[in-house]
Structures are given as C-alpha cells and as structure tokens.
Chains A and B, each alone.
Chain A
C-alpha cells in the first residue's frame, strides 16, 4: 500500500508534465492573443485541428516534427480566419470563438476520418530517468522535447512582450485601441497577427496530443483543454511564465484521476476527471470581482467586461 501511494505521487508528477504540455502551448497562444485585446474561444477547435493535421502529416511523411510544424500552420490559418472575421464592425469575438470551435472540430473530424485506424510515427521522448531503477519514476521522467520548447517559448514570449517594440505594440493594441490608433499603429493588423501566432502555438499543442500523449487520433481526443486555457490565462494574469506554472498545476490535477485508477481506486473516476473543470471554475470565481478590474488585464478585452 505504501508503495502504491508513492506510485500515485510519481504518476501525478509525471502526468503534470505530460498532460500539462498541451495546456502550456494553448495558454501561451491565448495569452498572446488576449494581450492584443482579442479573445479566442475557438482554440478548442484549433487544438483538435492541430491534432488531426499533425497526425496525418506524420503518417504520410514519416516525420512527426513536420507534423508538428504543419499542425502549427493549420492553427495559424484558423486563428487568422477568427481574427479577420472579428475585425469587422459589430462582429463579436466571443461568438466567433464558439463558431470556430464548432467549425474547427467539424473540419478536423471530416478530414481526419481516414486517420482513426492507422498508426503514425510518434514524437520521440528524452529519457531523463535513465539513472533510476524504479520503473514508475523512469516512466514519469520521460520528457518530450515539446515541453522544453514550451518553456523556452514562455520565457522568450514574456521577455519580448516586455522589452521589444513588437511587444509594446501588441500591449498598446490590447490596452487601448484608441491610443494605438493615435500612435498610428494598425490595430486590426496587430490583432490578426497576434491571433494567428496564438493559433500557431495552439495547433502545436494539438499535435502534442495526437503525436505524443495520449498518442492517437480520435474524435474524443480533446476535452476542453482549449477552452480551459482561456481561464488559465486569466489566472496567470496574462504573464507567459505564470502560464507555465498554471499549466503544470492543471496537468497535475488532470493526472489525478488516471493515477488513482492505476492503483485500483476507481470509485469517483468521473468526478476526479472533472477536477480540472471544477478548479477552473473555482479560480474564475475567486479571481473575478465586479468591483475591481484584474491586475494586468488588457483593457480592450471583452471577457473581463
């Protein structure tokens, strides 16, 4: 029993990184988009589309990394479509997000039908646990390179938003469209670029799902990660580095159900699996308030109004 509980702990730690990685990419993408003053609720669709594209390209080309790149490009196109539609007057970005969620998943299921059966080449993992004799620990320390890339992206994105002219433009567009226009900045174009780049990251997050963990392509692959990312970004106060910690926290929460099941605790399986959703809701209840605006919020954002 003692070893069983250690097993759970190690499994949760491993799951933290394994399940947290897609959260990381999607929340970084959403963070960038929201910094520019748009909200993209359609990242759930982008995630699924990225998963399908990555799997299909990996299968046909034999190169999972090419799959990751194409997944990013597919996500970029969906992001560009979203923000292009939103740049027209009176078109609501939240509503378009819902539509993009349905459109993206529908398109992915349509195009992905032939890829449900065959098995594509998998993304390789880096073995950080070779020194250990404990098989669970070995399994937990198998890290995918995409996670490390995600950390780098988080650091670079945070630095660029803070210290570069590009970052300043994005932030001005997100703080006040009027001020940005007064400075002669093309607000719509900045937002279209940021949403497309955010879509690129979310697409990569999707390819992680299909090409590494859980490593298959099926219609039930994504279960709200893209949506939860929107709330994670609020919790992370629009800071890329905070997105990293929050994604890991959510990965751990999502790993709890399967880890307990692996040691034979199956009662309440569905409830344990709902923990990330409940946590997200709880976080939104705690952090939002009708009386004050949040610290760090881009003021053009409709989600906090």
Chain B
C-alpha cells in the first residue's frame, strides 16, 4: 500500500503537469496573438477573468455555458475509451432537442413532471440512436467514424431545419422558424436560490455516472481493453461490436440530453439555435480532459468561462467575437502536441517505478 500510493499519485501527476503546462503555453501564444492584433494581453486576460469568474453573475453565466459542454464532451470522451474519435456531438444535441420538443408537443395535457421525463427520455433515445449510426458503420462496414459522425452533424441540422419549416412549424414563428412552444408549465425551473437551471446538475451527474461506468464496472474495464487492443479483446471473447454500439448510444444519449435541456430550460422550442456549436466545443473539452469524465467537469467550466467572456472582450477591447474561437483553436493544437510529451520526463518515470 505504501508503494501503491505514490505510484498512483505519480500517474495522476504527469497528465496534470502536462495539461497545466499546455494551458500555460496556450495562454502565452494567445497573448502574443492578441498583442499582434493591438490589444494588451494582460488586460485581455484580466477582462476574461472578470467576465468569466469575477462576480457571482459571471459565475452563473459561465456555469450555464459549462453545463451543455459537460454533456457534449461525453459524446467524444466515451467512444475515446474504445479508441474511436467520434465528433458527432453537434448532431446528437440537435436531434435530441428536436425529438424532445416533438415529444412534449405530442402530450399537451400531461402533467409537467411526466412531460419533462418523457422529453428527457425521447431526447436521450434519439441522440443515442443517432450516434449509434457511426458506431454501426464503423463496426460492420469499417467506415471511418470521425468522418461519418461529422457528416451526420450536417444531416441532423438539415433534418431539423426541414422539420421546423414544414411539419412541425409554428405558423406564428415567421422570421425564425420554430416548433410550437412546449408550454411555460413544462419548462425546467431554476435551482433554488440561483439563476441557474437544472442542466448543470444533469451535466455533473452524467459525468459522475460515466466515470463510474468506465472506471468501476466490468463493462468499463472491457471497453478499456477493447480500446487498447481490439484483437486481444476479441481473443479474450469480448463482444467488441456490442461494446461499440452501447458506448456510442450512451455518448449520444448525453448529447441528446443536452439538446433536451436547451429546449426545456432555455428556448422552450426547437429551432436552429440548437445548433450553437456546443458539440464542437465539447470535442475540445474531451481532448483537454483526456477523455476522463471527472476531469471533464472542471475543463468544461474553464471553457464555459472562456466562451462567456466573448461579449465583454468585444465591448472592452474591440476584439471580434471570433477571438475565443482562436483561443480554443490554439489550446486544442497545443494539447494535441502535448501528447508527444508523455513518458519523456525521466524523473517522473523513475519515481513511478521505485
């Protein structure tokens, strides 16, 4: 036991140091970028901190943005355990939100609690089945899951736009085609004492459940083996195909839930605002967190904060709203580059062995 403890600490220390180091390098690079655009990088960072974490109001703003990111990050993180790069979170959000809204509109006289439960189920099943498609294609047709999931994002958005402009259109939504409103009584309320809706709780709970599933169950253990070596997993008699399908379903269900929350807590209807790039930002969160569902929570809050600061950056420094996109891109590239650093610090390695 006395040996095992420092070992596990060390195992956690290396990724921690590399992630923090990468974020620091990203901040330096981004600082140089805004400096070249004529802004003072130190003031920009101060503004970002103020806008993201400075006041209780900005914290709420950050957390509201972090909630869907936790769920969409799971869309990429869970298949990551199997060695798959699925980036279909955007499509799962859109499909989940669409079907959640349709479910609510199908039961106009049910009790609000029943409506919400049905919406959540509908959103999760729709999102889950949507992301099962790349899993199916990968397993049975060897179609690259990254490309198929990304194509499915575009198809999902087209499907949403088609349905809200035809079958499910509220005739009163003239300029912004939408479904009918699900009804004020059916909206998810706020967490008592805050301006936060329950989506944040859903996100955290989903991440904890996902962590437990992947790290403390036989199913998760089997998935990690299959992700490490498919051939070995098949020889050991693991049902690789079933693992792929189940994991893709769970991942898509998380995205679908994010879509349901967007409809039931924010917009009240399904329309193209569902396509708010939460899916793409979730990919970044998953990569920074190295697919670990518990690490996703703080990373999502950090990225939520970065995205929340976009408005103030525009007003205070006259930087375009795409500034945070550049920052996200820089962080993403540096984090991917840092993959090459693992195992190169001999001191950490030695301590790990002793």
Residue contact B142 to A103, C-beta cutoff 8 Å: no
> Given A91-B340, A109-B322, A110-B322, is A281 in contact with B283 using a C-beta cutoff of 8 Å?
no
Q: Which residues of B contact A81 (CB under 8 A)?
A: 333
Q: Mark A125-144, 1 if CB is under 8 A from B, else 0.
A: 00000000000000000000
Q: How far is the CB of B343 from chain A (nearest CB, A)?
A: 9
Main secondary structure of the interface of A (DSSP, over half): helix
Q: Which residues of A contact B152 (CB under 8 A)?
A: 281
Residue contact B329 to A274, C-beta cutoff 8 Å: no
Q: Mark A49-75, 1 if CB is under 8 A from B, else 0.
A: 000000000000000000000000000
Identify which of B140, B325, B342 contacts A105 (C-beta below 8 A): B325
Q: Which residues of A contact B166 (CB under 8 A)?
A: 267-268
Residue of B nearest to A86 (CB): B336
Binds A, one of B122-130, B143-151, B188-196: B143-151
Residue contact B154 to A274, C-beta cutoff 8 Å: yes
Q: How far is the CB of A297 from chain B (nearest CB, A)?
A: 12
Identify which of B143, B147, B284, B333 contacts A96 (C-beta below 8 A): B333
Does B158 sit within 8 A of A, measured CB to CB? yes
Residue of A nearest to B140 (CB): A290
Residue contact B151 to A99, C-beta cutoff 8 Å: no
Q: How far is the CB of A39 from chain B (nearest CB, A)?
A: 9
User: In the docked arrangement, what's the CA distance between A278 and B143, Å?
Assistant: 14
Residue contact A281 to B328, C-beta cutoff 8 Å: no
Residue contact B151 to A281, C-beta cutoff 8 Å: yes
Binds B, one of A16-24, A226-234, A242-250: A226-234
> Given A90-B340, A95-B336, is A285 in contact with B146 using a C-beta cutoff of 8 Å?
no
Q: How far is the CB of B84 from chain A (nearest CB, A)?
A: 10
Does B184 sit within 8 A of A, measured CB to CB? no
Q: Which residues of B contact A227 (CB under 8 A)?
A: 147, 150-151
Residue contact A85 to B158, C-beta cutoff 8 Å: no
Does A303 sit within 8 A of B, measured CB to CB? yes
Residue contact A99 to B333, C-beta cutoff 8 Å: yes
Identify which of A91, A106, A230, A274 contacts B337 (C-beta below 8 A): A91
Residue of A nearest to B80 (CB): A95
Residue contact B287 to A290, C-beta cutoff 8 Å: no
Q: How far is the CB of A234 from chain B (nearest CB, A)?
A: 8
Q: Which residues of A contact B336 (CB under 8 A)?
A: 85, 91-92, 95-96, 99
Q: How far is the CB of A195 from chain B (nearest CB, A)?
A: 15
User: In the docked arrangement, what's the CA distance between A288 and B85, Å?
Assistant: 18
Residue of B nearest to A97 (CB): B146
Q: Mark A216-258, 1 if CB is under 8 A from B, else 0.
A: 0000000110011011000000000000000000000000000
Residue contact B339 to A92, C-beta cutoff 8 Å: yes
Does A262 sit within 8 A of B, measured CB to CB? no
Residue contact B340 to A231, C-beta cutoff 8 Å: no
Residue of A nearest to B150 (CB): A227
> Given A109-B322, A110-B323, A303-B144, is A285 in contact with B137 using a C-beta cutoff of 8 Å?
yes
Q: Mark A77-114, 1 if CB is under 8 A from B, else 0.
A: 00001000100111110111011101111110110010
Q: How far is the CB of B122 from chain A (nearest CB, A)?
A: 22
Identify which of A100, A113, A231, A281 contacts B155 (C-beta below 8 A): A281
Identify which of B87, B154, B330, B339 contacts A277 (C-beta below 8 A): B154
> Given A103-B326, A113-B320, is A94 in contact with B146 using a C-beta cutoff of 8 Å?
yes
Q: Which residues of A contact B198 (CB under 8 A)?
A: none
Q: How far is the CB of B133 from chain A (nearest CB, A)?
A: 9
Does A119 sit within 8 A of B, measured CB to CB? no
Residue contact A85 to B333, C-beta cutoff 8 Å: yes
Residue contact B320 to A278, C-beta cutoff 8 Å: no
Q: Which residues of B contact A224 (CB under 8 A)?
A: 150-151, 154
Residue of B nearest to A102 (CB): B329
Identify which of A41, A107, A284 contacts B329 (C-beta below 8 A): A107
Residue contact B142 to A109, C-beta cutoff 8 Å: no
Does A164 sit within 8 A of B, measured CB to CB? no
Q: Which residues of A contact B151 (CB under 8 A)?
A: 224, 227-228, 231, 277, 280-281
User: In the docked arrangement, what's the CA distance between A102 and B287, Å?
Assistant: 13
User: In the docked arrangement, what's the CA distance between A30 and B3, Å?
Assistant: 51
Q: List 26 A-B contacts (CB under 8 A).
A: A85-B333, A92-B336, A94-B85, A94-B146, A95-B85, A95-B287, A96-B336, A99-B287, A100-B329, A102-B284, A104-B329, A106-B322, A106-B327, A107-B329, A109-B320, A110-B320, A224-B150, A224-B154, A227-B150, A231-B151, A271-B159, A277-B154, A281-B151, A284-B144, A289-B142, A303-B147
- Besides A90-B340, A284-B148, 16 more A-B contacts (Cβ < 8 Å) are A85-B337, A90-B342, A92-B85, A94-B85, A102-B284, A104-B329, A107-B329, A110-B320, A227-B147, A227-B151, A228-B151, A231-B147, A270-B158, A278-B155, A281-B148, A284-B144
